[in-house]
Amino acid sequence: MGLFNKIKEKFQSKKEKTVSEDTKIYEKGLEKTRKEFVSKLSMLGIKYTKISDDYFDELENILISADIGVNTVFKFIDKIKSRVKTENITDTSYLNEVIVDELLIIYVAGESLTDKINISKDGPTIILVVGVNGVGKTTTIAKLAYKYKSMGKKVLMIAGDTFRAGAVEQLKIWSDRVGCDFYGKGGIDPAGIIFDGIKKAKEDNIDIVLIDTAGRLHNKINLMNELDKINKVIGKLIVKAPHETLLVIDANTGQNGIMQAKAFKEITNITGIVLTKLDSTAKGGIVLAIKEEVSLPVKFVGLGENMDDLKEFDIEEYIYGLFKDLM
């Protein structure tokens, strides 16, 4: 049985019981991509009764328009053609299942990438949050704080973006809304603020520390030096910290988001991606492109504007949310 059918069976049995809130949020959050992508895929099966070069050309365009990435799509089409030939597939509706199977394999195959957050068993868990300005970094920190506070954790936000106008104040407003601790001052060295903030976290028995950082990617050398200094400062106070360095990417930016991931990966140790605004784009295939092109796991996805709409990434929920109309 293919991976597609295993997921299909799993979610069909869920339907007989009660669909979870997370499943509903994934369904709703991926609605734009599903309507655009799956409807085109279904129409392709109706338009072509036989698999041909024209069929593959259109399939290629559909996959590229979903932002799966040109290089990934070319390799993917080669795999599909190979399976069609070796398995003697002629039915386009069955080929849809093969397509979904192979898309899932893109994410789960190869090296093991964990989508779980590395929580420290001893002392505060330090999560550094990076990303260019305007991708939803501050809101993501607020949603993460809300998530962990809802789990009964004691959370501290540290404002490490100290020179951008209004950045410290914006994070303070969010900390007040969420009801978590805050540490920050504007206009001074970010590493110094972060050092003092983590000292406070240790003294106050904080469970989760979320650190905002500058997003000046246009000046890569300065940003690399700044992040390097921040990492050293954190490591002096807590061994093997930061425990996570999460890169925030706006799903609407498509392939530009992939370029951001590659650039940040060059300058610091990224452990995972937070993909925001996935609900507002029809290009949800970027999840697969990130894994294939950057070899980084997506750890959280933003599937709405509510505080609880930032969800831990689940590949099965994602595939179901994307392809439920084919199931």
Mean pLDDT of 270-280: 95
How many residues does this entry show for the chain? 327
Average pLDDT over residues 207-231: 92
CATH topology of domain 125-313: Rossmann fold (3.40.50)
The CA–CA distances, whole Å, from 100 to 71, 195, 312 equal: 18, 47, 22
C-alpha–C-alpha distance, residues 190 and 84, integer Å: 55
pLDDT at 278: 94
| Global confidence as pTM | 0.92
Q: Map tokens 């050398």 to a residue.
A: 221
90/148: higher pLDDT:
148
Structure tokens at 186: 């504007």
Distance CA 166, CA 180 (A): 19
Query: 312 pLDDT band (50/70/90 cuts)?
Result: very high
Please tell me the distance from the alpha carbon of residue 210 to that of residue 126, in angstroms, as a whole number.
6
pLDDT at 16 over 60: no
User: Do the domains at 3-108 and 125-313 have one common CATH topology?
Assistant: no
Give the pairing type, strands 155-159 and 298-302: unpaired
Is residue 174 pLDDT above 80, yes or no? Answer: yes
State the pLDDT at residue 101: 87
The 3 state secondary structure assigned to 85-146 is HHCCCCCHHHHHHHHHHHHHHHHHCCCCCCCCCCCCCCCCEEEEEECCCCCCHHHHHHHHHH
- pLDDT of 12 > 70? The answer is no
What pLDDT score was predicted for residue 230? 97
> What residue ranges do the domains of the chain occupy?
3-108, 125-313
- Which residue did the predictor score with more confidence, 219 or 318? 318
Mean pLDDT, range 128-146, rounded to an integer: 96
pLDDT greater than 90 at residue 182: yes
Tell me: pLDDT of 14 over 70: no
User: Which residues, at least 6 apart from 165, have a Cβ–Cβ distance to it below 8 Å?
Assistant: none
In angstroms, rounded to a whole number, what is the distance separating the alpha carbons of residues 208 and 165? 26
Confidence band of 58 (pLDDT split at 50, 70, 90): very high
pLDDT per position as a tens digit, 32-41: 999 888 889 8
Cα 77 from Cα 72, distance rounded (Å)? 9
What CATH number has the domain spanning 3-108? 1.20.120.140
pLDDT at 279: 94
pLDDT confidence of residue 28: 92
The average confidence (pLDDT) of the chain is: 90
- Return the number of other C-beta atoms located less than 10 Å from residue 91's C-beta: 13
